[in-house]
Amino acid sequence: MPRQITAFSNPLVKQVRLLRDKRHRREQGRFLAEGLRILTEAREAGRLPEHLFFAADSAAHPLVTALVAATEAAGGEAIETSADILSKLSGKDNPGSVVGVYREFALPLDALDRAAAPIWLVAERLRDPGNLGTILRTGDAVGAGGLILVDDCVDPFSVEAVRASMGALFTMPVARAAWDDFRAWLRSGPGQLVGLSLDTEHDYQAPRYQAPTFLLTGNEAQGMPDHIAAECDLLVKIPMLGKADSLNAAVATAVMAYEVLNQGRRAET
């Protein structure tokens, strides 16, 4: 039976609110997700919150009812509360009807099976949570094996990144690694490392990509460092016919991912 929390001074409310800060997320090993669609995607992917906060006026919604039942059956706690407290937890003036507290689940490289998918996404020093969330959505859409975050990338469990992923954080494996560790892991088995770069003459549609293809996107402002570009098996660029000199990092990743996907689809016909 869900308990009720109506006071802003409640210790659990204070503790959960701290998860909007990266330091506290790392200390607790937990993160926030909000919105009925995202939490439902998580439930369907087998991820359930340790604490589920839901608005009293949404309790009768069938998806909220399903979330409450699943959370309690898995040993989590469902908590009925007010829209004001949900707003305080999420940091939004118009919060969703549910907020969940989840345990972080980033994987080590050794837990990844590179043979599980023909496409993998790799981001190096990505800084924008919106880009990270969009790349996760792209990875889910093309059936990528996962997203590997190299060096100092934005936190995939930040409220902004989780929101931008629209649930894909729960369906896409995510791993974090230093560049040297990633390079060693990559070269220990099959895999073509393809870098997105402006400093090449290779059009992105010209090569025939080899599975598994690891698509590497560099930092939004600086691109990838020379020593990382030198490690790529292939550097490719997307033609720019207008005034802009490059695409947004997440958009470029999506264009490349669909090129690799479509080459595989054509090969199957």
- pLDDT one digit per residue (tens) for the chain, 269 residues: 688 888 888 999 999 999 999 999 999 999 999 999 999 999 999 999 999 999 888 888 999 999 999 999 999 999 999 988 998 888 777 767 899 999 999 999 999 999 999 999 999 999 999 999 999 999 999 999 999 999 999 999 999 999 999 999 999 999 999 999 999 999 999 999 999 998 899 999 999 999 999 999 999 988 899 999 999 999 999 998 888 878 899 999 999 999 999 998 887 76
Rounded Cα gap, residues 31 and 210, in angstroms? 36
Rounded Cα gap, residues 69 and 63, in angstroms? 10
Confidence at residue 255, expressed as pLDDT on a 0 to 100 scale: 97
User: Which helix (H) or strand (E) element contains residue 2?
Assistant: none
Confidence at residue 95, expressed as pLDDT on a 0 to 100 scale: 67
Confidence at residue 216, expressed as pLDDT on a 0 to 100 scale: 97
Structure tokens at 221: 């402002």
Rounded Cα gap, residues 54 and 95, in angstroms? 10
Confidence at residue 1, expressed as pLDDT on a 0 to 100 scale: 67
Confidence at residue 2, expressed as pLDDT on a 0 to 100 scale: 80
Rounded Cα gap, residues 225 and 230, in angstroms? 9
Rounded Cα gap, residues 31 and 244, in angstroms? 37
Helices (H) and strands (E) in the chain, counts: 10, 11
Residues in the chain: 269
pTM, full prediction: 0.92
Structural domains of the chain, ranges and CATH numbers in brackets: 3-103 (3.30.1330.30), 109-268 (3.40.1280.10)
Which regions of the chain does DSSP assign to beta strands (E)? 3-4, 30-34, 51-55, 77-81, 98-103, 119-124, 147-150, 174-177, 192-196, 213-217, 234-236
Name the region of 172 (left: φ>0; alpha: ψ -120 to 50; beta: rest): beta
